Structure 1
Amino acid sequence: MSEDEGCTVTHTGLHELEPIETHAIDIRGTYHGNTNGELHVFNLVEGRSARVSSPTDAWEPREVHYAETVFVPASAGAFDVTSADGSPIRILEATPRV
């Protein structure tokens, strides 16, 4: 588990032989991420809606509602995830295990 300003990231327990890494991310502010050349898949599991955007406006922001999934392509680079209405949210993140 790691704490950052506005979010808590918890590694979830998939078996070490599974080809993906998964994390539960509790967001109270903004989660700043980077694809580092890998696909990222998010599912909103708590909260009404989240906004996934580029901090440099390199691509159009996407709003995701409860139980919806969004794919952030490897080429996207840096991204931000925030609550669309300011309330706390939780996302599950999956990335390829390298």
Structure 2
Amino acid sequence: MKTKKKYLMLVFEENSDKSLEFYSDNPYRGRLSDIVYGDNVKELMISSDGHSNEGLFYVLYSAVDGTMISYGIIDFAAITDEISSKENLSKAKISLLL
């Protein structure tokens, strides 16, 4: 994937009468609402249309290696924790290689 940002977040809206729990577990089954790139959570909070994405559904990927990091209902405090875990794991793997 060619981008200078570390993370890619796909944002989805519900598109039928299914439950919020359904979309939380399967966000990609909703309607694509936004695509956000960022190097940190602060950048991921900025939606492309100027509206808040808080409370919608998401799938977060590493734009560096293409791995999925997390998914669910957008809660930036939880996403901050997920990104911190991913970065700490990456640092630990690098330490083991040295």
TM-score bin, normalised by smaller chain: 0.3 to 0.5
Task: Tell me which protein shows more strand as a share of its residues.
Answer: 1
The structure with the greater share of residues assigned to helix is 2
